[in-house]
């Protein structure tokens, strides 16, 4: 692949994303859902003019390195820098339960059901459960904004998604290391799990604090935006190098910058420039990711494996329901109550996205059952985006949560 080929491919993707965005706005279809549909259509068309988008001609950008190192830190930072940490602290208990025990519960339940239904070995099935356990409700949050749903509901969904990416990655790494070594220690794995999450949060918070103090001494939008970029990627890479949770580190850094650096160290001019920059970065990266998902999906392979795919989808939904309907009522005993209708939204709105694909694609080609795990992961991601994403608006209206209703 030459630089010219990569730039040409990027231009084609941006053209497609812009056209799909305009069409999605007119048809009032969630943008990310439209992108996946568009990617499927562009991948199926065999027109000569679209040859740069065809398999064999396009660069392979849907890889673990690109998603986890290039795309993910920017998306996590952009989401976290907008969140009010005081609101997040008020929802500490339900979020803590869902992003720790909820991820573990969903992974184990999903893995057990997949093992029982498909015959996949237990550890490999649990590995699939960890891959698919993190939620990615980008399109759901856009629908929330469009339908003017409760700000608290949006915070709960977005906060969980922001934090459970990190715990899912750590759990995946522990299980994969145990499978490769042939010896999985639950006690040691649990210790590593909580250590990677807590120390990752401490590292990210420290880097975010330092960056916030520096921005307070500078009044130059370009320099301050550059500092936020360094913090977003630097916290992720440093945590990754130290075998901590890079996602948690970047999220914590974003929260620190957004709640300390922004109000105390940024002028209105800098704040407007920074928000525009990160919103644009998020728009471009999300456009690329969801278009690439559509382009890379091989519908023939998914249809051929329809039986295990249906079992996998059912198992993921059951695992999600079990974690939400078990842990949220426990939270309700000690914290502000989360209504049952919101719990239904959390279950059905738990879409899966690029992180699951990155983890599945990162499996070594020599690992047994890799292709089966990859097929099930692609299938669940496509189902969640297209089916759950498209039905979310009528689902919210049916529950009478739309248009300002609680």
Q: What is the mean pLDDT of the chain?
A: 85
Mean pLDDT of 381-405: 83
For residue range 95-150, what is the model confidence (pLDDT) as tens digits? 999 988 999 999 999 999 999 999 999 999 999 999 998 887 666 777 777 767 78
Q: What is the pLDDT of residue 245?
A: 86
Q: Would you state the structure tokens that stand for residue 174, as one six-digit string? A: 């522990």
For the cut 90, the answer to whether the pLDDT of residue 177 exceeds it is no
Q: What is the pLDDT of residue 46?
A: 65
CA 265 from chain centre, in angstroms, equals 29
- pLDDT-based confidence at 404, cuts 50/70/90? low
Q: Which residue matches tokens 């590593």?
A: 192
- pLDDT-based confidence at 405, cuts 50/70/90? low
- Phi/psi of residue 166, each to 5°? -65, -45
Q: What is the pLDDT of residue 57?
A: 62
Q: Would you state the structure tokens that stand for residue 260, as one six-digit string? A: 């300390």
Q: What is the pLDDT of residue 233?
A: 96
- Residues 139 and 161: beta-carbon distance below 8 Å: no
Query: If we measure between CA atoms, which residue out of 215, 338, 353, 285 comes closest to residue 66?
Result: 285
Q: What is the pLDDT of residue 139?
A: 60
- Residues 392 and 30: beta-carbon distance below 8 Å: yes
Residues 251, 100: Cα–Cα separation, whole Å: 16
DSSP string, 303-344: HHTHHHHHHHHHHHHHHHHHHHHHHHHHHHTTSS---HHHHH
Q: CA angle, corner 238, sides to 234 and 242, nearest 5?
A: 170
For residue range 28-86, what is the model confidence (pLDDT) as tens digits? 787 878 888 888 887 777 655 555 666 666 667 777 778 888 888 998 898 889 888 88
Residues 157, 348: Cα–Cα separation, whole Å: 11
Q: 67-78 burial string, b = 16+ CB within 10 Å, else e?
A: bbbebbbbbbbb
């Amino acid at each position: 692949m030459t630089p010219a080929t990569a730039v040409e491919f990027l231009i084609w993707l941006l053209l497609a994303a812009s056209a799909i965005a305009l069409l999605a706005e007119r048809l009032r279809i969630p943008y990310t859902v439209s992108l996946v549909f568009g990617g499927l259509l562009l991948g199926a068309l065999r027109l000569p003019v679209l040859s740069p988008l065809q398999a064999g001609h396009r660069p392979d950008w849907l890889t673990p390195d690109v998603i986890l190192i290039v795309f993910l830190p920017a998306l996590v930072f952009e989401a976290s820098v907008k969140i009010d940490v005081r609101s997040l602290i008020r929802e500490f208990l339900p979020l803590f339960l869902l992003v720790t025990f909820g991820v573990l519960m969903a992974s184990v339940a999903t893995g057990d059901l997949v093992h029982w239904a498909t015959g996949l070995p237990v550890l490999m099935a649990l590995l699939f459960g960890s891959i698919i356990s993190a939620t990615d409700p980008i399109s759901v949050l856009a629908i929330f904004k469009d339908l003017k749903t409760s700000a608290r509901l949006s915070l709960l969904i977005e906060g969980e998604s922001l934090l459970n990416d990190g715990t899912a990655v750590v759990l995946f790494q522990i299980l994969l290391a145990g499978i490769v070594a042939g010896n999985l220690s639950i006690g040691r794995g649990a210790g590593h799990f909580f250590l990677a999450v807590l120390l990752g949060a401490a590292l990210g918070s420290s880097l975010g604090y330092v960056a916030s103090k520096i921005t307070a001494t500078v009044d130059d939008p370009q320099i301050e935006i550059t500092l936020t970029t360094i913090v977003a990627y630097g916290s992720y890479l440093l945590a990754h190098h130290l075998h901590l949770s890079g996602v948690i580190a970047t999220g914590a850094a974003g929260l620190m910058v957004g709640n300390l650096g922004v109000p105390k160290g940024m002028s209105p001019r800098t704040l407007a420039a920074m928000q525009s920059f990160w919103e644009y970065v998020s728009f471009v990266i999300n456009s690329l990711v969801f278009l690439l998902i559509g382009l890379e999906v091989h519908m023939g392979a998914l249809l051929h494996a329809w039986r295990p795919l249906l079992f996998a989808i059912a198992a993921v939904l059951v695992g999600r329901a079990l974690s939400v309907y078990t842990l949220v009522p426990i939270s309700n005993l000690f914290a502000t109550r989360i209504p049952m209708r919101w719990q239904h939204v959390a279950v059905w709105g738990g879409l899966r996205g690029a992180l699951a694909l990155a983890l599945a694609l990162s499996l070594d080609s020599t690992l047994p059952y890799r292709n089966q795990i990859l097929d099930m992961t692609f299938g669940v991601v496509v189902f969640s985006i297209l089916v759950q994403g498209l039905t979310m608006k009528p689902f919210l209206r049916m529950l009478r949560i739309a248009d300002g209703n609680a």
